[in-house]
Chain A
Amino acid sequence: MGVMAVESFKSVPHGIDGDTFFSPEIPESIKSAVQLLHKVEAAAFDKLVHAVVESFQSGDFPSDEAFERVQADVGGDEGPNYNVIFTAIHSIIRTAVRNRTKASVVAADLKAINVPPPFVDIIIKVMKQERFQLETQSVVTRTRFPRLDNLQWRVDVAISSSSLLRVFRPSILFQMSLSDGSIKTFEVSVEQFHQLRYNTAKVLRDMQELERHPIMRIAFEGDKKKFDDK
């Protein structure tokens, strides 16, 4: 009985999944990792966390050899289980950043799922430091339509043509270089140009109004200040 009571402090309680920031379900790797964490030393944990930080900064997971080096570096008997812990730390930080959870909520939830408190503090510290970079990374890699990289233009006036001796009609030539590499060259009549200019102005105004709308002011966490300096 006594052993069971002790054990329950070392694993993730049942039914808590929906209440944490992992909702709807806490990943298996984290559940397994929590039990292992109670056997791991702080130094080892620290090194694993550093490996996680490196992988976030490089944007990719470490290769097998790199991870074996980390395992050798850390030492200890729990060697084969370090990858579970690594995955767990990675998931925790990723999910927290993705859901944009407050640091205090993350700390409370991690304690609720029985992660040892000193480890919780390390995780929170790393999360705060990596959050901005992860968010910028996702902005860069998100799915988008092609963007306008460069717009070259010129204004021409047709003076004469084979049909008319005096034409004097202005027209505009655009060359758009898009981010997917394509280059579109096309002519724009003055009427079409005015329509385009009007549409652009209208969308800009709509965007500004949208950003001023009260519903947009539902600020979330202190992260908002990061996005205010556009």
Chain B
Amino acid sequence: MAALVKGEQPLIAVTARLREATELVNGVSVQKFPILLTRIIAKLHLRNEHIFSEAEQEQLCGLFALSTSQLTTVLESCSYILEQAAYHTIHPNALKQLLEDAGMDEEHAQAVSTVWADEATEFVGRLKEHTMSGPKALLDSQYRLHLMMGESNLTRLKEPSALFEFKLGRPEAGPQGQNTDKEDVVVEFSHSELYDLFQQLEHVQEQLDSLS
């Protein structure tokens, strides 16, 4: 449980903009507010995507009786609050207190706190998954086992060989997203080569075990 304040600063800095946002939030219907929050938190881990499309933003303006700029303030502040809550892993009760201090009324602060309590673990998990990594990540690996029975220079063989296919790509877009950077690497192994690979993977596993 993180302390409410670190030194002199609260974990969520109460700026004028935040106060403005909390006032606007107070005017938003309490029934619809949690739905908005859940939607935001579901997509917040994606860095390059807008959470709401233009059409959806217009709909929200009508739904909450807010102007476009007011809606933007509300959405951005909610996103900021949730990001900071995740960054410092703020407890839901502490979060509620922080929001009330920032000017949000009790009902809305409770709504935020409830959504946070429900979604926090998953959200933090998603953020951990999306930690920045190298240029490519292993998305999938598949194998085929062959028995080579002959080739142009030598018939009547019986040599097993394994083919591994590694799908590499950027992890952020996800397997269903637009992934123009994908690469398929095919590697062939004989029995002894495969055994060597296995030994190396065992060493890696030893390291992983020693971490925990």
Contacts and interface: CB of A to CB of B under 8 A. Distances in A.
B185 interface: yes
B205 interface: yes
A189 to B, nearest CB: 7
Interface stretch (B18-26, B58-66, B102-110, B133-141): B133-141
Scoring A100, A184, A186 by chain B CB atoms within 10 A of each residue's CB, the highest score goes to A186
A186 B197 contact: no
A132 interface: no
Interface residues of B, number: 60
B134 A164 contact: no
A163 B87 contact: yes
B145 A206 contact: yes
B189 interface: yes
Interface in B150-167: 151, 153-156, 158, 160, 162-164, 166
B9 interface: no
Interface string A135-165: 1011101111111100101010110010111
Given A164-B87, A199-B141, A153 B200 contact: yes
A142 B160 contact: no
Interface size for chain A: under 10, 10 to 19, 20 to 34, or 35 or more residues? Answer: 35 or more
B194 A167 contact: no
A203 B194 contact: yes
Interface string A100-114: 100000000000000
A98 B157 CA distance: 10
B88 to A, nearest CB: 6
A211 B188 CA distance: 18
Given A147-B189, A155-B211, A100 B155 contact: yes
A184 B131 contact: no
Q: Which label, helix, strand, loop or mixed, suits the secondary structure of the B interface?
A: mixed
B131 to A, nearest CB: 5
A122 interface: no
Given A147-B187, A164-B127, A186-B137, A193 B204 contact: yes
A191 B171 CA distance: 14
A151 B202 CA distance: 13
B207 interface: yes
Contacts of B52: none
Contact of B188 (A146, A171, A190, A196): A146
A39 interface: no
A206 to B, nearest CB: 5
B22 to A, nearest CB: 23
A230 interface: yes
Given A145-B188, A192-B138, A195-B141, A187 B133 contact: yes
Given A153-B200, A211-B191, 16 more contacts: A100-B154, A144-B188, A148-B197, A151-B197, A163-B87, A166-B89, A167-B128, A174-B138, A184-B168, A186-B136, A186-B168, A188-B138, A199-B164, A204-B191, A220-B156, A230-B191
Interface of A: 97-100, 135, 137-139, 141-148, 151, 153, 155, 157-158, 161, 163-167, 169-174, 176, 178, 184-190, 192-193, 195-197, 199-204, 206-207, 210-211, 216, 220, 230
